[in-house]
Amino acid sequence: MPTYTVTNSNFNLSSKQQKKLAEGITKVHNVVTGANTYFAQVIFNKTKKNNHFMGGKKVKEPSLFLLGQIRAGRSKEVKDKLITDLKDILVKNSKLDETQIWVYINDLPPSQMIEYGAVLPESGKETKWFTNLPIKLKKKLSAIES
């Protein structure tokens, strides 16, 4: 369901930092939205040197961007908490100042998303969705969740 893409610019993230960020992003999404952890995926990218511009000028300071694509249907309060908690995870694990952190959330209609070969359920209907999955897939997802 959520796909979070983390892009770092003008600095490196260690493997340990990436692991902590992935764990933190997954936990925040799970706690704030109630969605199972097996839905959250985190992908890391790094900009190439001299490939980051703002206002037409090269950016030289470190920056960290998080783009989250999530299912639509959550309240403003939930999304406000989600982006704030995600920002806090990025600050804590990157050691950057919050002014160097960018968080964007895009809502996508669940009916326009397929994961694990199945169209996704509306928020709150994950249990029914899971019940209708093939047993092999249920075992796979249960192993990720634990």
Q: Specify the CATH number for the domain of residue 20.
A: 3.30.429.10
The half-sphere exposure of 60 on its side-chain side, counting CA atoms within 13 A, is: 1
Whole-model pTM: value is 0.89
The half-sphere exposure of 125 on its side-chain side, counting CA atoms within 13 A, is: 12
CA distance 66 to 98: 13
The domain tally of the chain equals: 1
Query: Which pLDDT band, with edges at 50, 70 and 90, does 69 fall under?
Result: very high
The predicted-structure confidence for 96-106, as pLDDT tens digits, reads as follows 999 999 999 99
CA distance 34 to 145: 13
Query: Which pLDDT band, with edges at 50, 70 and 90, does 146 fall under?
Result: low
Nearest Cα neighbor of 123 from 108, 110, 113 is 110
CA distance 91 to 105: 17
The predicted-structure confidence for 71-114, as pLDDT tens digits, reads as follows 998 999 999 999 999 999 999 999 999 999 999 999 999 889 88
What is the span of the domain harbouring residue 105? 3-145
- Strands in 55-124 per DSSP E: 57-58, 63-71, 101-108, 114-115, 118-119
